[in-house]
Structure 1
């Protein structure tokens, strides 16, 4: 199966040995996004809400570069520094997703890259 690397300057450049996203067939695997501003490559840390918005904006840019929309996202994995942020994740997600919502898992983890409070990865399935 052919793999296509997805890249956009509207999302942060990869800061390690990974791609922003990889398309295999009609499935797009979107790497975990943290609240990095793509222009400055600085962490957005004004508030948890600001971090979550930046994460989903970054993801949206990658989704668009892959030829999809948030409606095409089938699965999200959300990593949080603390489950106390879970209600805010739901509030922010409602700005980007409509029903039917994607499948989702959310975990609190010990530490995230650059000590941010949220990282989100996604799997998107595009129409044939």
Structure 2
């Protein structure tokens, strides 16, 4: 099985040693996405709800570049900076992802100033 690098201009490219996504066989891993507008590079929103919506747009853009969609996602990992943001993040998450929801893990961590959420995805595609 070959490993395929997934890239798109519709999600931000970070100055870090990582790929936006990697596909090997039917497995697609989307790197953690941040709330950056891919066209301007600016952070979108000052609330966790607005940032979550942008992050999920970025995740979806990488999925689409690989020929996938949210319906192919089996696991999303959410990284929040503050436990108090859980309810607002859940609301934005549910609106963007829709049912049936994939499996999910949520952890709390420190992100750079102004960034409130990061999300990565694991998808399985039909060959």
TM-score class, shorter-chain normalisation, is over 0.9
Count of matched residue pairs: 127
Match in the other structure for 2:11: 11
Q: 2:30, 2:62 within 8 Å by CA — same for their partners in 1?
A: yes
Q: 1:80, 1:119 within 8 Å by CA — same for their partners in 2?
A: yes
TM-score, normalised via structure 2 length? 0.93
What secondary structure does 1:124 align onto?
strand
- How far 1:115 sits from its partner (Å)? 4.5
Higher mean Cα deviation, 62-71 or 36-45? 36-45
TM-score, normalised via structure 1 length? 0.92
Structure 1: runs of 5 or more not aligned: none
Q: 1:71, 1:98 within 8 Å by CA — same for their partners in 2?
A: no
Is 2:67 the partner of 1:58? no
Quote the RMSD (CA, aligned, Å). 1.3
* 1:59-115 CA-partner distances (Å, limit 9, x unpaired): 111111111111110001100001111111211122222332111100111x11455
Structure 2: runs of 5 or more not aligned: none
Is 2:118 the partner of 1:116? no
Is 2:107 the partner of 1:107? yes
